[in-house]
Every structure is written in structure tokens, then in C-alpha cells.
Structure 1
Amino acid sequence: MADVHFLAPRAKAKQLSRRAVLAGFGVVGLGALSACGKTTKMAASPPVDGELESKLNLYSWGDYDNPELIDAFKKKFDVLVQVDSYGSNEELVAKLSTTRGTSGYDVVVPTGSNIPQMLNHNLLQKLDMSLIPNFSNMDPNFTGQYFDPKNEYTICKAWGTTGYVYDTTAIKRDLTSWQDFIDTANNEASGTTALLEDPWEVTAIALATLGYSLNTEDKGQLDEARAVVIDKMAPNVKAYISNAATGMIQGSFTLLQSFNGDARQGLAEVSNPEDWKFVFPTPTANLWMDNWAIATGAPHPDSAHAFINQMISPETAVAQLDYIGYPIGTKGLAEQAKEADLGEQELIFPSQEVLDRLEPSIQTPADQIRTAILADAQARSGA
């Protein structure tokens, strides 16, 4: 995984969003899985009997749950919750694969694109949906995903998409597409453009404009995308950053590729939010999803099921959304957010028209090509 170059001071680094560290896909993680082997025997979890254990071990992204909700779970069920954090899917996968069912963790939060490999190597155990009745409250847009079609192992924890944000005082025209993004980077925003430090996301801009699948493994198509990234974008890019909010706050950028929740964070912190506009670009973009899951060998399976059930409850949805900045996939959350008067709701909830055109990212061997494209682009940009 590429190093993350923070524009914010190191002391501020931990404030960057959970999405900030998703630079590329699974080289380390897949290596750990290969070492684990497909037929590795994992330790079995204790049987689920409905009697909550007195402890729960949560292994998740840093600061990715409203602490008040965790405290409420502790008090309601008299369960001690121990929270440990990781900084990448690779770190999570390495921990679970090397401990082979004895990590001691119960609930984990992998990203969807990592789940097929994790299931292939028996790192997650099946959920008992009879213990998660709140699953009935999940929005069908965020169930039945390609990585777990029957939701046997996972439930949406948070989701978002990718677009870009621009300064309307510097860029006077309306931008709507990825082609507009490239054209503007070559003109008004030359030298003040930022791309995400993420191989898949950067390559996706070019693939979208070329009319190809964002997950293509075709070398010819990826070569075409490389030419767009290296020749048409990289010369005009000032920096590759992980969180557009930091670039917006810094003040030297006018056009930034961004996850929607990070743009919302930036709008909340800049002095001139009315001058910025976020775009859900055509023709397509990523639909990423983080997921609740239970690790194979979880020592506290009943508490794990109860915790997941509590965290996807409609009663906790707005508090969780307000804290992490991304929706959690429950029905009617947009209406709840409106009643709660949360800011920048249009960034949190893209329209159904937008959702229908998004393409979830998938791990493939061609991600190594994408990683090389990003490295070459950074070298061309001098970033």
C-alpha cells in the first residue's frame, strides 16, 4: 500500500476520515491470505445460545463508532466492550489470517472488496440472523451485494461514494462529469488539482471517461486509462491526498477528487462553504461499503450478534451518521436526518438515480497495474 502523505500536521493525522487510509487494494492482505491457505482449519466459535457473554472485543477502524452508542450498549446489556483499531484492511486480514481463529476478536469491519478473499480463507463466520432482527430495517440498496449476496456473513455498517468538489469562485462553469474534471484540471484548475492517493479511484476517473468498467482487468483498456492519467491529469496535479477536507481547509486547491463524506467534512470546516460545490459525476463512480462481520473463532458470539443488532437499530442511526459522517444503510435514514436537521444532507444521500449508476470496487489481480499507474502519475506530477 502506498504511503499516505498528510497535508495536515502529524498531530492532526488521526482526525482524518476512515476512508483516508484506503490507498490501493490488498497486496499485503492477499499475501497474508496466501500464507494462511484456503483449507486452513480455524478455531470454532462457542455455540450461540442467546446468553450474552460479559465481554465483547471489537476490532475496527479508528474512531469509527459513536462512543456514546458503545457506552449505551455496555449499560443496556452489562457487557464490557474492548475496542482495538487498525488502519487498513490489510492489517485486519493479516491479524485474522495469522492467528487462525484465535485472535480473540469478535466483531470486525472489513470493506466489501476484501470480503470474497476473507470468506475464501474462512476468516469470517456465518451470522445467525435470528439474533439480528434489526436486519429487517436495512435498505435494499445496501443488502445482497456481490461479495455476500445472501448477507450470510456481513451487514452494511457504512457506505459512500466518490466524486469531486470544486471552488466556484475559481471555476465559474457547471461541472457534472469526470470528463469535466479532466478538462478543468487542464485549464482553470491546472496546478491546483488534487487526486486521491488511491490507485483504484484515480484509475477509475480515466476508465469512466473511456466508457469501460471501473473494475476492468483488460490490459488494453488499462493501458488507455494509463495514458489518460499520466498524460492528461498528472501534469496538472498539485498533490495526491487521502482526505479532500484537508485540502479544502488548506486553501491552495480549487478542484479535488473526494469521497462524499470527506467533502462534507470540508464544507463544515472551511470559512466559505457557499463557494464550494460537490459533484456526483457521470457516468459512474465507486460505491464502497464497510460491513459488520463476526470473526471466525469469536469468543463472544452472542454479545457480537447483540452488538451488531444494536448498532443497526433505527434508534441509533442518526447518532451514528452524525458522528462518522456516513450513512449506515438503514431504511428511512434520510428522513430521520432531515428531522434532525443535519447539515449538507445532499452530500450524505445521493439520489436513487446516482445510486443506480454506481459500480462497487472489486479486488482483482489487475489492481497491481492500477498501483503502478498511480506511482507513475505521482512521479509525473512530482508529488
Structure 2
Amino acid sequence: MANKIPDVHFLAPRVKTSRLTRRALLAGFGVAGLGALSACGRNTKMAASPATDGKLESKLNLYSWGDYDSPDLIQAFKSKYDVLVQVDSYGSNEELVAKLSTSRGTSGYDVVVPTGANIPQMLEHDLLQELDLDLIPNFKHMDPNFTNQYFDPDNKYSVCKAWGTTGFVYDTTKITHTMKSWQDFIDTAQKEAAGTTSLLEDPWEVSAIALSALGYSLNTQDDKELEEARTIVIDQLAPNTKAYIGNVATGMIQGSFTLLQAFNGDARQGLSEVSNPEDWKFVFPTPSANLWTDCWAIATGAPHPDSAHAFINQMISPETAVEQLDYIGYPIGTKGLAEQAKKADLDEQDLIFPSQKVLDRLEPSKQTPADQIRTKIFADAQARSGA
């Protein structure tokens, strides 16, 4: 096995798991150059085979975020079903949508991974085909918190692949008071963390800080409410923001930031890499924050639909859930995963699994015409910050 090259091809080199962030890709992704990955040395369990009309197609084309699945699990799928897996990566939902839109059902891709907020737009343009849940029997293991979402009420087109939320992490040696809310974040950014604050490189998330502190819906389209949020972002946050970054872990390691808006899994990664994790604290802030969901889906015109269903079924299997969580840093939406993670003794489990009380107050992001206003707020904030 040591000399055998597996039929799993990545268009970017495999890099260390520790550098993974939800949306921050290192240089090299999307650049041609095939790398081979081996599953040697890992005992990867496989779920029961789904019911299909016959033998699976011999190939599967996966188009996903860079380094967003354990190569060992992909190799295990290939070995079990004798399916060659080709993996291409993209860096944004916009890139995915553009690729599928221009190909008009002839992209050649089978499985894709859009963020939930983008699915209504993709359905409007017929970019995704219906799933046959009979071919995904592991769907029965999905947590109800992450099924029947607003963007796909009956899971006709998507299944949760990973989920998370947004909060902030702060250095308790520099910020000594307890922080609980987005208002605390705004106030502290103007005081102890002035000039050492970072915001996410995401217009929706940045506006959400102010909207939440004001008590408004994070998806509001009201001009007056958005103008109030703009005032906070431009006049209170932007002048005190040092950078807009996606790789929060790097920001924590550099030591030049004391307050960072962060996705929970990325903050967990940072805590695993800094030399002084005991000095940092992550907050699931009140009153609300985003509940994002990335989803498995099948592209319209997928040339290998049976293999696509079998692959999705495998990747949401309870038997592989902990390995996926350990690799990507985010839960995959299966029931009982918190208990499995506890048995596996994974680090910082409280950052991976917010309580049901926290989940109940989160608000999933949506695409609306007001996104243009949020984009303008973000651009003006960056200009005010000198970023």
C-alpha cells in the first residue's frame, strides 16, 4: 500500500490541518498541480452501503471549499466502492455559482458544497438537482436543528455538511472585564482594544455586530435600521479596527490583536495554536449571531448521480462524524456528535457545540437586496480603518 497512488486527486497540495479556517485558503488553492494522498495508517470506518439501482459509477467529481474533507475518508470511499474521486476547490460561493451558471448543466461536477444562504439563488437558476433521500439512508441520523432550514424546508436539494456560528475571542490579560454581548465588543473596541481589534472580512458579519447590538434582525432590509448600524460600524468600530481578516488563528498567534470577531471553529483552532490559550476567552455573544450551514448538494446535470448520493451518505455517517469534525473543526450536523466528541476527548468542545439556549437565539444569514447596502458599509469601514 505504501507505493500505491490512490485515485484521489486534489488541485492543490494537502497542507497541515492546523492551518484550516472556514474561509481562509492558503496560496496555492485553485492552482493546477495534482497531489496524491494516502489513507495509510488510519483505521477509517465505513457506513453501510446505500441502496442503489446497481453498481455505482466509476467516478465522482467533487467541487468544494479547499481542504474541507478528510482525505482519509475520501480515500476510504474510493477503496470501498472502487470510485475514482476528483476534487476541485473554490474560494467563495460566488465562484461556485458562476462556474455552475456558465456551464448550464455541463460542468461535469457531481457533488457541490454551497452555503445555505446561497441555495435559494441556486435553485432559482436551476443549478441543483433534487436528492433521492432513499439513497442517503444516513439522513435519518441528522440533528433536527440542521434539517428543514428556511433555504430548503424539506431537504429536497441539500443536506447539512457543516455548521457553526460567529462570536468573538479576546485576550483576558489585556481586557480584564467580563464580556458577554456585541455591545461589550463595540465598547471595548473603542477602549482597551482600540487599534488591536480585528473584524471578519465579510460585509454581512460586520454589519451584524451593530444590528444585533441595536436589537434588530441581522437580515433586516429596513433603510433606517441599516443606517443606524452604519453609524456604529463607521464611527465606532472602523477607527479602532486594525485589520479585516479571515484567518483568526494567525491573528491570535501574531500577538498584535486583543479582540477578534471570529467563527467559533476558527477561534478553537487559534486556541490550539497559541502558546497561552489560558489567556484567551471565546464568547457566544448576546443577543444574536449567525448560524451558518454549509451543505452537500448535487449539481444539475451531474454525470455520476449514484456515486454522488453514496458519497454524501458516507460523509454524514455517524461512524465518520468525529473524524470529519476533528479534521475540519466544525460539526457535521449528525445527532449525538457532542457525546461522540466527548468520548474521543477532543479539545475545546464547548467552542464546537454551543448550548441549545445559544442555538435557539441564533439567526441564519440570508441573501437580500439589502446586501448591497451591507457591502457599501463594509467598503466604507475598510476605507475609514485605512485597511
- Partner deviation per Cα, 1:64-98 (whole Å, 9 max, x = no partner): 00000001000111111111111111111011111
Q: Given residue 105 of structure 1, which amino acid in structure 2 is its aligned partner?
A: Y
SS of the aligned residue for 1:314 comes to coil
> Which residue is equivalent to 2:342?
338
> Which residue is equivalent to 1:370?
374
| Mapped partners of 1:336, 1:16: distance in 2 | 22
| Mapped partners of 1:52, 1:293: distance in 2 | 18
Structure 2 residue 262 is the aligned partner of structure 1 residue 253: no
SS of the aligned residue for 2:345 comes to coil
> Which residue is equivalent to 1:103?
107
SS of the aligned residue for 1:19 comes to coil
| Mapped partners of 2:133, 2:83: distance in 1 | 20
> Which residue is equivalent to 2:98?
94
| Mapped partners of 2:23, 2:177: distance in 1 | 29
> Which residue is equivalent to 1:80?
84
* Pairwise CA distance, 1:232: 1.1
| Mapped partners of 1:55, 1:271: distance in 2 | 44
Structure 2 residue 327 is the aligned partner of structure 1 residue 349: no
2:160 to 153, 156, 161: 156
> Which residue is equivalent to 1:218?
222
1:165 to 166, 169, 174: 169
* Pairwise CA distance, 1:326: 0.4
| Mapped partners of 1:100, 1:265: distance in 2 | 38
Q: Given residue 160 of structure 1, which amino acid in structure 2 is its aligned partner?
A: G
> Which residue is equivalent to 1:323?
327
| Mapped partners of 1:142, 1:63: distance in 2 | 22
Matches within 5 A, 1:202-281: 202-281=206-285
1:291 to 292, 295, 305: 295
| Mapped partners of 2:372, 2:260: distance in 1 | 24
SS of the aligned residue for 2:167 comes to strand
- Partner deviation per Cα, 1:190-227 (whole Å, 9 max, x = no partner): 11111111100000000001111000011111001000
Q: Given residue 72 of structure 2, which amino acid in structure 1 is its aligned partner?
A: E
2:72 to 68, 76, 95: 68
* Pairwise CA distance, 1:113: 0.5
* Pairwise CA distance, 1:242: 1.1
> Which residue is equivalent to 1:381?
385
- Partner deviation per Cα, 1:313-364 (whole Å, 9 max, x = no partner): 0000000000000000000000000000000000000000000000000001
| Mapped partners of 1:256, 1:97: distance in 2 | 36
| Mapped partners of 1:20, 1:176: distance in 2 | 26
> Which residue is equivalent to 2:148?
144
Q: Given residue 368 of structure 2, which amino acid in structure 1 is its aligned partner?
A: T
> Which residue is equivalent to 2:128?
124
* Pairwise CA distance, 1:16: 4.7
SS of the aligned residue for 1:234 comes to helix
Q: Unmatched 5+ residue regions in structure 1?
A: 1-10, 22-47
| Mapped partners of 2:217, 2:240: distance in 1 | 25
- Partner deviation per Cα, 1:145-197 (whole Å, 9 max, x = no partner): 00000000000000000000000000111100000001111111111111111
* Pairwise CA distance, 1:51: 2.9
- Partner deviation per Cα, 1:71-128 (whole Å, 9 max, x = no partner): 1000111111111111111111011111011100000000001000101111000000
| Mapped partners of 1:253, 1:358: distance in 2 | 26
Q: Unmatched 5+ residue regions in structure 2?
A: 1-14, 26-51
| Mapped partners of 1:18, 1:275: distance in 2 | 23
Structure 2 residue 189 is the aligned partner of structure 1 residue 185: yes
> Which residue is equivalent to 1:5?
none
- Does structure 2 retain, via aligned residues, the 8 Å contact 1:162–1:258? yes
SS of the aligned residue for 2:163 comes to strand
SS of the aligned residue for 2:121 comes to helix
How many residues align? The count is 346
| Mapped partners of 2:329, 2:54: distance in 1 | 33
SS of the aligned residue for 1:110 comes to coil
- Does structure 2 retain, via aligned residues, the 8 Å contact 1:125–1:295? yes
| Mapped partners of 1:297, 1:367: distance in 2 | 30
Q: What is the TM-score of this pair, normalised by structure 1? A: 0.89
- Partner deviation per Cα, 1:260-307 (whole Å, 9 max, x = no partner): 011001001000000000000000000000000000100000000000
SS of the aligned residue for 1:240 comes to strand
Q: CA RMSD in A?
A: 1.3
| Mapped partners of 2:283, 2:351: distance in 1 | 9
Structure 2 residue 56 is the aligned partner of structure 1 residue 56: no
* Pairwise CA distance, 1:18: 2.9
| Mapped partners of 2:231, 2:98: distance in 1 | 34
If each structure's helix is expressed as a fraction of its own residues, which one has the higher value? 1
| Mapped partners of 1:369, 1:299: distance in 2 | 39
1:115 to 113, 119, 127: 119
Q: Given residue 159 of structure 1, which amino acid in structure 2 is its aligned partner?
A: W
Q: Given residue 296 of structure 1, which amino acid in structure 2 is its aligned partner?
A: T
- Does structure 1 retain, via aligned residues, the 8 Å contact 2:22–2:266? no
